[in-house]
Structure 1
Amino acid sequence: MSLESKYIWLNGKLVETEKATIHFLNTSLHYGVGAFEGIRCYDTPKGPAIFRLTEHSQRLINSAKVMGFNTLPYSLQEIDRATLDVVAANGFKECYIRPLLYLSAPNLGLNLDTATPQLGIAAWEWGSYLGPEALEKGIRANISSFTRLHPNVNMTKAKITGNYANSMLAKTESVRLGFDEAIMLDPQGYVGECTGENIFVVRDGKIYTPPTTTILEGITRDTLITIATEMGFEIIEQPISRDQLYIADEVFVCGSAAECVPLWEIDHRVIGSGQGGPITRKIQQAYQAAIHGQNDAYAQWLHYVS
């Protein structure tokens, strides 16, 4: 992973990366009340294209609304345009993109209405979040000792910066224990999601996934549901218990950073054949074709940088 880039888009203009700074006395820095997105741009036969850009920009706006921002500095169309501009300015063919809405206030009080929302957008070259071998070989996970946030404690439908302290606690614990990722249970004890990915379970040819009640409504999750449904698979949204993971034929996770990755072991229990099952592989391959512009059926999901 490299965070190197030439420019960051900051509050309406492209700024050299080393000059894209904010003040230490910043409301979001101190209280975790920003909103962000994780987006990917892929090289395609027609040039670099950002995958589902407008959906990501809309979710950023939705996160700010859920958080309680009363005003936003830019419209949906302006956020889309700025995102395309920062990728073009850096000359990337493939990259990860991070828009961040943050608050600047004359004081460090706890009232959102005294702060002014501002927007920055960065892009950098970043391979698979879970490692270069994860897409092919899969990863090992465990059930975290940390519970996924309660929806009435920290809003779970928003990508709020402070929410990810929960994810960092779980992820760090799992990595220190020798696993690649953590699976977090919801406040009722059912399977929620991983620290940065939604989860799917395959059993007897059907695909199960937790309902959206306590999880983030992932855009990659929606993408895979669409692709799998059009491939003829039945998708069932229902509560999933921890032990149902152990006896699944296949388990896979997805997210913009991670893409689509099989889980071959959970809590020291081998899942299925232990190497990613055939349904996971079919969906994974179809997803890769869609994001790289190799399937015209999903051309509407691509926003070309040029």
Structure 2
Amino acid sequence: MQYYNSSTQLYLNGEFVPAKDASTDLYSQSLHYGYAVFEGIRAYNTHNGTRIFKAKRHYERLKRSCELVHIPFEWDIDELVRQTYKLLELNNLKDAYIRPLVYCNPNMTLSEPSSVNIMICAWEWSAYLGSKQVRVCISSYQRPNPKSTPMEAKVSGHYVNSILATTEAKSRGYDEAVLLDQHEFVAEAPGANIFIEKSGKLYTPSLGHILPGITRATVLQLCKSLDIECIEKQITARDLKQADAAFLCGTAVEIIGMKSIDETTFPLKWSDSLGATLQRTYKCLVLEKQNYEVFI
């Protein structure tokens, strides 16, 4: 996939520069140790114009991620939101995926950085896992122990774990993976949170060993609005395989139904599931439509 071309602009430390001319230092802690934090944000072409979904909330999480891993964050969040809209305008993007990244200057020690940089880029990107239900497997890889690293921080180095899990899943013929935690409870997918449906109720893994996704929080809010009972609790692999239906959610994947887990196919037809209702509702929310039951 081509993320930029000769005319693409990105935001780098307060200025807009051609993406083809931007560079980083080969002695950066971020390159050597994965010591950086990032966000994934989406912009949608709505009838009210281009809208960045929960832009401020994402930049607040970017700041919080920096704080959790002792990376300085000295930027004004409202200004970053304004500059992100300008970035979209400069690149003529209306539906886009936005990637802010805070990365470190040269430092070969294992100490916190004294100075850092911020980069924001954007590109056209459809739903990460497509629009069809996905076949998922339980990964042999586990999510890191939350006592080893703050799992609520969106740290670049954490995603080696995600790459390994997704690569393994695809090599086995699946679309995506689900990772368990160190106690063998369901955690999340490599880049998404998970919900399961059983007997007319939704369940999702409780916080502590997972990234507290902004889309996950949005789904919980939508459940309240739609009077759907959703319970946060520890979920076993057996619970997952005995579910009526299940779905993944995240900024990149949005909301996508799971067809099966390992060789177990979920019995409830996707169109009849609570996940499908939430998928339609979420799409109407991000597109700023009033009728939540518009089909996509």
Fold match (TM-score > 0.5): yes
Q: TM-score range by the shorter chain?
A: over 0.9
- 2:230 matched to which residue of 1? 235
**Which of these residues, 229, 246, 251, is aligned with residue 256 of structure 1?**
251
- 2:104 matched to which residue of 1? 103
Asked if 1:120 corresponds to 2:119, the answer is yes
Query: Aligned partner of 2:69: which letter?
Result: M
String of CA shifts for 1:200-238, please: whole Å, max 9, x gaps.
011111110000110000000001111121101011000
The 3-state SS of whatever aligns with 1:72 is coil
- 2:190 matched to which residue of 1? 195
Asked if 1:77 corresponds to 2:78, the answer is yes
- Structure 1's consecutive aligned runs of 4 or more residues displaced over 3 angstroms after TM superposition are 273-277
Asked if 1:281 corresponds to 2:282, the answer is no
Cα distance, 1:3 vs structure 2 = 0.8
CA distance in 2, matches of 1:56, 1:275: 30
- 1:9 matched to which residue of 2? 11
Asked if 1:151 corresponds to 2:149, the answer is no
In structure 2, runs of 5+ residues without a counterpart are: none
Q: Is the 8 A contact 2:67 2:73 kept in 1?
A: no
Task: Assess, with a 3 A threshold, how the Cα gap between structure 1 residues 288 and 2 changes in structure 2: closer, same or farther.
Answer: farther
CA distance in 2, matches of 1:274, 1:240: 22
Cα distance, 1:24 vs structure 2 = 1.4
**Which of these residues, 15, 20, 32, is aligned with residue 30 of structure 1?**
32
The 3-state SS of whatever aligns with 1:43 is strand
CA distance in 2, matches of 1:78, 1:174: 40
The 3-state SS of whatever aligns with 1:265 is strand
Query: Aligned partner of 1:198: which letter?
Result: N
CA distance in 2, matches of 1:193, 1:276: 23
CA distance in 2, matches of 1:169, 1:37: 20
Query: Aligned partner of 1:183: which letter?
Result: V
Query: Aligned partner of 2:25: which letter?
Result: H
Asked if 1:168 corresponds to 2:163, the answer is yes
Cα distance, 1:146 vs structure 2 = 0.3
- 1:302 matched to which residue of 2? none
Cα distance, 1:273 vs structure 2 = 3.4
Query: Aligned partner of 1:77: which letter?
Result: D
CA distance in 1, matches of 2:290, 2:189: 29
CA RMSD, Structure 1 to Structure 2 (Å): 1.4
Which of 1 and 2 has higher RCO (CA within 8 Å, sep 6+)? 1
Greater Cα shift, 148-157 or 33-42: 148-157
CA distance in 2, matches of 1:99, 1:237: 29
The 3-state SS of whatever aligns with 2:276 is helix
Cα distance, 1:47 vs structure 2 = 0.8
CA distance in 2, matches of 1:82, 1:29: 25
Q: Could you state the TM-score of these two structures normalised by the residue count of structure 1?
A: 0.92
- 1:59 matched to which residue of 2? 61
Cα distance, 1:65 vs structure 2 = 0.3
The 3-state SS of whatever aligns with 1:153 is coil
Q: Is the 8 A contact 1:200 1:208 kept in 2?
A: yes
CA distance in 2, matches of 1:182, 1:67: 27
Query: Aligned partner of 1:64: which letter?
Result: C
Task: Assess, with a 3 A threshold, how the Cα gap between structure 1 residues 103 and 245 changes in structure 2: closer, same or farther.
Answer: same
Asked if 1:177 corresponds to 2:172, the answer is yes
